[in-house]
Amino acid sequence: MVYRRRRFTQMEAATDSVAVAPTAPTAARPAKPRARMMRQYDLVERVRSYNPNTNEDLLNRAYVYAMKAHGSQTRASGDPYFSHPLEVAAILTDLKLDDATIVAALLHDTIEDTEATRAEIDQIFGSEIGALVEGLTKLKRLELVSREAKQAENLRKLLLAIADDVRVLLVKLADRLHNMRTLEFVPPASRRRIAEETLDIYAPLAGRMGMQEMREELEDLSFRTLDPEAYNVVMQRLDALAERNRNLIGEIEAQLSNNLRHRGLGARVYGRRKKPFSIWTKMERKSVGFEQLSDIFGFRVVVNDVQACYRALGIVHTTWPVVPGRFKDYISTPKQNDYRSIHTTVIGPGNQRVELQIRTEEMDQIAERGIAAHVFYKEDAGSPTEFLKRESNAFAWLRHTVGILSESANPEEFLEHTKLELFHDQVFCFTPKGKLIALPRHANVIDFAYAVHTDVGNSAVGCKINGKFAPLSSELQNGDEVEVLTSEAQSAPPSAWESLAVTGKARAAIRRATRTAVRDQYAGLGRRIVERLFERAKIDYADDKLKGALPRLARSSIEDVMAAVGRGEIKASDVARAMYPDYKEERVGRYAKKGLAAKLKETVVPGTTPRPPAAIPIRGINSDLPVKFAPNGGAVPGDRIVGIVTPGEGITIYPIQASALKDFEEEPERWLDVRWDIEDTTPQRFPARIKVENVNEPGALAQIATVIAEHDGNIDNISMQRRSPDFTETTIDLEVYDLKHLSAIIAQLRAKAVVARVERVNG
């Protein structure tokens, strides 16, 4: 459905109390027949109907307290505001929830919208109810940059509160459901924003918690607001279809019931049509018309136990032909939201396709009410949250999502991850040892690896799917057996994996590992810079001594100090001064005063590379230091080189003859002594640039490229400019192993008849 992804960037933080409008003039409100507000005794009777041991005094006190607290506040409809928390409580009585949850529903807006305080609620109703109400209170005075950041912080707080007590979610969803039922009284701009947020977050969240009935109503209410024309068209088609097939539905129900009863199996059978939003999304997803849908009506077969489910399946499959590829067993492999049922499709009476869901009474309750059906009146269950931690897959998903909180760099990143987790259906894959891994649809091996363990994801280098080698980006299908191949040599994943990963967990782990790797690089650079300064100043360096100086540097750890030095946020001399207060910086370093001039006049023995005693070793781009090479010409082993520190970017390596170094003559503190430290056993290429003046004739460029290729050079980029009718100037960025390799290529190019001149470029 287009709403789900297209509108992510348009979302704003909706306030659930948006319907409160105490100052709005009555004449501006839409006319509406006043519904009778539920009385005190009505609420008590609703709770007593499913909980004979209810605490009537507690319910009565909460009713009176909330009514007085909200006082004369009104909603946009003109109704007393107290009607809203009362209706929220009524929705929760339909879910048969406990007294504390009903009371929290009555009080859920008191801290935010009235003079009530958490301390007062704790005193009157107890800390358990106070904590529930606090968890439902949005961030009222939070100063954030964007509405999306505010929305993310509200969702972050909500999920944290749910992790502490799952009843917070039930009240929150009931609150949103009643606001959606009365959305027509809200101004159009806010109405659309609230509907989008409901469709993007709250409906999927209800689905993730297994509360399918509530999810469907939230989706349909949002759909009706966001696209009323499409909603009305689907409803008209559904009503017409129901009228045409009224007798057929009854016939199918009767035949199913009779067949099962004749085989000695009692069952409750009933037909049910799909909701408008579900039908619309299927039409959008599969690009089909309404007439092409064959499963608008589905039938439930509800039996006593699991064994009876499989007996019923056998009876159905031996009575009517089965539609291939339409069988799913969610009893043996439940969905992540605890949904359990057997799905099958057969060619039933009148040659009609009949979609069947076979389940027990308990499964049926969980399918409709999710976690609300799990907990509250099970003997010895303990607290709802503790029970769910032990028993519920849906709650395990929630705990995993909350775990992302600590891994997200900012609120928007967390919101992105949460949405990714909310919207996908699932595929089920297995490890070679048979462990089941549930993943979002379209997930790949990278997601699988991180689902197994973060360390497995970080060190993944290959995989086998069903015994065959495959790329790590391979999309997984239901039932795949995946073996992830790892290597100890890879401690951090490539940053490009983040764009390939589907799950929030994988993306967060990759982002965190990338940040850690970059930080380690800066810390390594900072340590070398500090040690170099101490060596030249002839003073002792020790981590223990630096640890005692951390408060003076306003850093919490030695690694933080070193990373700050590497990023250019702290000078090495500041570290020395923090450790040795008497230290005085002497700008008499190797090139500190005379800079480039001193470096150029340095005497070098032919055939050797100068290695100052405190020089930092450079191994290439893929090293443990944040290193890059001069943008216009690069540098290769054999060049005399100097490093220039750029805050936040690391070291840029220049050959000493580069003209660009003159720009840094007045900044001696940025100059670093560096030296090549190349391993002969693992040769790597380095960037260089040459300028070739060649004859303008057919095949000239091909001859130049052939020379470079034959001598194992790698062309990275070419640009050409016509200098005269007869000659073209060709600038070539290439990669070579060292200065000797580059010189050999230049010599071979000069020997070509089409080449007039070749020179190396040093920016």
C-alpha 181: how far from chain center: 30
pLDDT single digits (tens) 567-616:
777 888 888 888 888 887 665 444 444 444 455 444 444 444 444 445 77
Instruction: Give me the helices (H) in 477-625, please.
Output: 497-500, 504-537, 543-548, 550-553, 558-567, 572-579, 595-600
Active-site residue flag, 113: yes
Counting Cα atoms < 13 Å in the Cβ hemisphere of 532 gives 24
User: Which of these, 156, 179, 193, lies nearest to 13 by C-alpha position?
Assistant: 193
The low-confidence residues of the chain, meaning pLDDT below 70, are 1-36, 138-164, 286, 291-292, 294-295, 350, 374-426, 585-614, 619-624, 648, 681, 763
Active-site residue flag, 112: yes
User: Which of these, 318, 371, 496, 376, lies nearest to 97 by C-alpha position?
Assistant: 376
Q: Which domains does the chain have, with CATH numbers?
A: 2-222 (1.10.3210.10), 234-373 (3.30.460.10), 425-502 (3.10.20.30), 504-586 (no CATH), 686-760 (3.30.70.260)
Tell me how many degrees the CA angle 366-368-370 measures, rounded to the nearest 5: 45
Which pair of structure tokens corresponds to residue 139?
């961030």
Q: Which residue has the tokens 């409100």?
A: 29
pLDDT, residue 334, reads: 84
Instruction: Give me the helices (H) in 320-435, please.
Output: 361-369, 384-391, 393-404, 411-423
Which pair of structure tokens corresponds to residue 205?
């969240």
Tell me how many degrees the CA angle 491-496-498 measures, rounded to the nearest 5: 85
Q: Considering 98, 99, 109, 113, which one is annotated as catalytic? A: 113
Which residues neighbour 107 within 8 Å (Cβ) at sequence distance 6 or greater? 62, 65, 66, 69, 85, 116, 121, 125, 129, 133
pLDDT, residue 399, reads: 61
Which pair of structure tokens corresponds to residue 287?
């690009």
Which pair of structure tokens corresponds to residue 606?
């032919």
User: Which of these, 185, 287, 190, 181, lies nearest to 224 by C-alpha position?
Assistant: 181
Give dist(CA 601, CA 592) in Å, integer.
14
CB 486 within 8 A of CB 386: no
Which residues neighbour 674 within 8 Å (Cβ) at sequence distance 6 or greater? 615, 616, 617, 618, 641, 642, 643, 651, 653
pLDDT, residue 16, reads: 39
pLDDT, residue 22, reads: 37
DSSP-derived secondary structure for 712-734: T-EEEEEEEEE-SSSEEEEEEEE
Give dist(CA 14, CA 143) in Å, integer.
16
From the CB of residue 94, how many other CB atoms can be counted at a distance below 10 Å?
Answer: 14
Characterize 142-177 residue by residue with b for buried, 16 or more Cβ atoms within 10 angstroms of its Cβ, and e for exposed. eeeeeebbbbbbbbbbbbebbbebbbbbbbbbbbbb
Backbone angles phi, psi at 440, to 5 degrees: -65, 150
Amino acid at 456: V
pLDDT, residue 180, reads: 93
CB 309 within 8 A of CB 303: yes
In whole angstroms, how large is the CA radius of gyration of the chain?
35
pLDDT, residue 593, reads: 42
Q: Considering 112, 120, 128, 483, which one is annotated as catalytic? A: 112
User: Which of these, 435, 293, 405, lies nearest to 353 by C-alpha position?
Assistant: 293
Which pair of structure tokens corresponds to residue 377?
């009146």
**Under DSSP, is residue 759 helix (H, G, I), strand (E, B) or coil?**
strand
CB 614 within 8 A of CB 536: yes
Give dist(CA 475, CA 427) in Å, integer.
10
DSSP letter at 501 equals -
pLDDT, residue 8, reads: 30
User: Which of these, 224, 218, 138, 226, lies nearest to 177 by C-alpha position?
Assistant: 218
